[in-house]
Structure 1
């Protein structure tokens, strides 16, 4: 108990830091309110589904209604942990709920590192016995395999693959074709040709946010090791792909001045969606969750291109992959009912929701796109180019999912601190790589004791 609480306190501290820039259960399902031995909940129960999505972002009312229509003995209540739909704010509030002992049943985490950290804190219930009872082999059923030390604590909700959004009007004005296969060097040339104006009226060709994904651009399409550390926690940044990534950002932001400068992104607390919607940038490398958001908010013709390649010889469409990790809270009193909802949502439910792309292997990509567009607003959906969207989605190939060590958030924070010093001109690239490498290794060694 003491160890779990100490780990959780560390999670809370890191969660708070990232926002500014339960005891451990047994391995088998609890028997309260129906354990693994029963196929359905015996008595009416209420389960809470807790995430960061707003209703507009998640369409939860419709989703919950669809579930309860076939599960009348279960009342599902969705609780958003963020008024703005901010995932990091949501993670912080979920941690506070876990620490305070409030009711938690179904919980979601937005990244592999967030998920791994909470597994280490004992917040999540192992699902292996439930899966075994249902004859579910996760790697056969889902496109992602979120295994942690041989156990399953979550199933993949929406599946995240990356691509590039392009403002078609700016593309046409620059007389550029819609890319169907390109490199980061090609991306840089596009950025130059679509940058115009000066001062406050300047419109940039490119925008990179302050997430770690944008500090690993060339590494994100490395098939085996697309993350800043390997699965054993050892550093993965002292290599050409990371050096290329940081140099590319520095070139575009500080030399070519064709991408929004990092200092502005941070000081003005820019929201990447708003930057794109406002026409401040012509291109935005982002995840496929933006299709659902565009269907509600698009203001101009938008086309899609595959994620750029590090090397021209690389596989076209190779992209980093992620997911919402949906699990059962270890302190839930209705674990069977919570697990049943997780299983339904990660298979049929996402398609009913009509906003996200599914990580379920049986999901049909064409029907998935149609459902998302059908859930949108006609005046916004008309701006989405379905042809380039489908072509991009079908060429996409996911890299290996790396579920990092439980202390990976600490390593990300140290890495991004060094990246910021580099992009703001306070240290050179060699020192950035060397210092980040040392700090990442120090964290691994201290956690190995």
Structure 2
């Protein structure tokens, strides 16, 4: 489920020209006039409220039926809101987010009806907001009288406005081979630091040569992607969790960025507890096979793996699995801040039914996802009992759900939270590529840490300056 934050904008000029001419007004079509029999002389007919005319909204999504259970979800919504019909437009039969984004841009460029839009990552979301494709929903939120930051675990605020509500909640966590932990006499962590993570990895590492089992495996960075693995310590904060700050300036002076480099260097070079970066590249290793083949005892990854924890046909499970929360930077820090992926549920700017589109995304991101979806919701009001039911439902689709320590999984999910989203810049891919190149020189032994950090800062600042 690799996320590409450097997606190209397809048909941008055409989209902008279309958006410039479209109306921002919403609302339903007025109800038709109704007839009635004449009233007796001297009496006035009783006033009748006009029935709301049914409205059909179109919902464009990358999500497939298998991933999201749309059929049952939409039936439930239409029962709750009988005046609103939802027409599902699946943009990729494979659930491919790149394909879906391109097709959404084409739909916008060709003037198709757009009402509800679903984005899979902050870059797609931010770019379409910048294009004017997405309508602000502050007025609807204020009318309801709730705070997004309290109502949901992901705060989607962007430039002082809300343009989306968060759908699924996929925090990152650490998958653990519980059999390996038991053999080493290690408890399943419920609150731990990066230093303790490194100690666990060192203890769990055994063997030599081709049969060596590593304590952990890091799946990135690679080719300018999987950059979460270069901001391990940055991500365990409330603010300034990325390589750039919200104002577009460099965040590489943050000591937590250097700490991540130090941690990666120590674990691979000194402790020998993480799978060598060179092996990951040359052998084209993958986190699923490294974990399920028991080549690594701990793997840090996103909780989209919930549906695979009990094993699948492609990756059978032959051991017991537990989950630990994302490590924190120090004992004094709050546990739980972690990278989070979500679906950004938005209302199209050109929609003629903005209110109804908003009603759908509000219902879906709360009751709809909690009761009918196949993902953990970002909604903070999901009860412990409901969370357990959702987890049971997800694990039941795996081969050996009984081999998963459900309590540890629920603990990690329930206590995870996202820092503030930093809108990506248009040149994000350039930044990622520059950092990735310098990191490779460091981890492969071609330059030292101080030189690497200095070169990273220079390269990123040049990119920022060139794009002003």
Fold shared by both chains (TM-score > 0.5): yes
The verdict on how the C-alpha distance between 1:29 and 1:447 changes in structure 2, with shifts beyond 3 A counting, is same
Q: Which moved more, 1:198-207 or 1:336-345?
A: 198-207
Contact in 1 for aligned 2:121/2:341 (Cα 8 Å): yes
1:120 and 1:406 in contact (8 A); partners too: no
Aligned position for 2:170: 160
Q: Map 1:19-34 onto structure 2 (within 5 A).
A: 22-23=15-16, 24=19, 29-31=24-26, 34=29
* SS of equivalent to 2:88: strand
Superposition TM-score, scaled by structure 1 size: 0.81
Correspondence 1:387 to 2:402: no
Partner of 1:81: 92
Equivalent pairs counted in the alignment come to 426
Q: State the partner residue of 1:359.
A: 378
Is contact 1:414-1:436 (8 Å) kept?
yes
Separation of aligned partners in 2, 1:250 and 1:75: 51
How far does residue 219 in structure 1 lie from its aligned partner after superposition? 1.4
CA contact (8 A) 1:181 1:316 kept: yes
CA contact (8 A) 1:292 1:356 kept: no
Change over 3 Å in CA distance of 1:313–1:295 after alignment to 2 = same
**Alignment of 1:231 onto 2:246:** yes
CA deviation string 1:224-267 (max 9, x = no partner): 32222211111112232111212222333345443233344345
CA distance 1:281–1:109, shift in 2 (3 Å): farther
Does the CA contact (< 8 Å) of 1:114 and 1:409 recur in 2? no
Cα deviation code 1:154-175 (max 9, x no counterpart) = 1111223332110111222223
Q: 1:32 offset after TM fit, Å?
A: 6.9
Change (3 A) 1:328 1:184: same
Q: Does 1:278 align with 2:273?
A: no
Residue pair 1:322, 1:401 contacting (<8 A) in 2 also: no
Would you say the 8 A contact 2:175–2:301 is kept in 1?
Answer: yes
- In structure 2, relative to structure 1, the CA distance for the partners of 1:273 and 1:99 (3 Å cut) is farther
Q: Which among 227, 233, 242 is matched to residue 212 of structure 1?
A: 227
Tell me: CA distance 1:318–1:152, structure 2 relative to 1, closer, same or farther (3 Å).
closer
CA positional deviation for 1:373: 1.2
Q: Counterpart of 1:205 in 2: which secondary structure?
A: strand
Q: How far apart, in 1, do the equivalents of 2:135 and 2:463 lie?
A: 26
The answer as to whether partners of 1:355 and 1:372 remain within 8 angstroms in 2 is no
Mapped to 2, the partners of 1:276 and 1:165 lie a distance apart of: 8
Name the CA distance, whole Å, in 1 between partners of 2:243 and 2:447. 20
Correspondences of 1:340-359 after superposition (within 5 Å):
340-359=359-378
Cα distance in structure 2, aligned partners of 1:87 and 1:441:
30
Deviates more, 1:342-351 or 1:262-271: 262-271
**CA distance change for structure 1 residues 94 and 433 in 2, over 3 Å: closer, same or farther?**
farther
1:409–1:124 distance in 2 versus 1, CA, 3 Å: farther
Distance 1:426 1:95, change over 3 A: farther
CA distance in 1, matches of 2:287, 2:89: 26
* Deviation digits for residues 41-81 of structure 1 (CA, Å, limit 9, x no counterpart): 83352513312x44433333332333233345413315153
Deviation at residue 283 of structure 1 after TM alignment: 0.9
Deviates more, 1:123-132 or 1:146-155: 123-132
C-alpha separation in 1, matches of 2:282 and 2:52 = 50
The counterpart of 2:280, out of the listed 233, 250, 265, is: 265
Number of the residue aligned with 1:302: 321
CA change 1:13–1:387 in 2 (3 A) is closer
In the TM superposition, what whole-angstrom CA distance separates every residue of 1:195-241 from its partner, at most 9, and x where no partner exists? 34555554332121221111111111123322222111111122321
In the other structure, the counterpart of 1:119 is 129
* SS, match of residue 224 in structure 1: coil
1:45-194 matches, cutoff 5 A? 45-51=56-62, 53-72=63-82, 73-81=84-92, 83=94, 85=95, 87=97, 90-91=100-101, 94-95=104-105, 97-98=107-108, 104-194=114-204
Q: Which has the larger radius of gyration?
A: 2
Q: What is the distance in 2 between the residues matched to 1:98 and 1:262?
A: 42
* TM-score normalized with structure 2 length: 0.78
Give the direction of change, closer, same or farther, for the CA distance of 1:42–1:426 in structure 2 (3 Å limit). farther
- Rounded to whole Å, the distance in 2 between the matches of 1:371 and 1:80 is 26
The runs of 5 or more residues in structure 1 that have no matched partner are 1-9, 16-21
Contact 1:163 1:392 in 2 (8 A): yes
